[in-house]
Structure 1
């Protein structure tokens, strides 16, 4: 979709404000390789926004946070590379309970083990129930809570 939007733009038909935004996107691409911050975030972080609702427990060596769309795996792999002696365990679940969740262990930027949910439409009903329960437990959401967010 983004590519089709880029090919349909006619710079001569843009408003003054739109033209200035277009020029700024070209400057961004030239200076850092990305048209806008969301493009950078998706490529480098693996998600469209920065983390939020962070909880850090230094004594336990744990932190938790929320991101948009998906687990920021590129960022976590880079963190693992920067701390090659540490094994980092990532447990994640998004608001689509059961379909984008799992556990990945990283060491020196490599995956040591991975147990993640498959595509929702490729899982059996039993697997869907298992992963939904797993995600609810990780998120701390009660089973009877409606997914209305």
Structure 2
């Protein structure tokens, strides 16, 4: 009985550890990809679409177009089309691109959505003054996972 209880406790601790959110400064990139879920929870593609197409959230629509959100007005055209993103990239690669595209594409103008420091001259909102301390990430760990889940649905037919 003790052995079963001990095993269950160990399994419970292991499962709990797997569900822990990864802080922005603790993200492990491997060739630009992030293998581990940032939130420990699977992404929700429906929420990801909302984040990608809402200007006050992810704002992906300002730079990227996709047939999947042709109903959203005013797409940008400076980023690549997102059609087929789920076929071109693996989930870990998409997670890395959304979290910090500069880890794969040096010199890209795409913002790092899950980063809190290392910026060059960030401002303090609209005050004209430099930011003090670390900035919060643009998206939460779960929002990154949701966007990745949505991008994984954009497959070539």
Which structure dedicates a bigger proportion of its chain to strand?
Answer: 1
* Structure with the greater alpha carbon radius of gyration: 1
TM-score, structure 1 length as denominator?
0.25
Greater relative contact order (CA < 8 Å, ≥ 6 in sequence): 2
**Normalized against structure 2, the TM-score is what?**
0.25
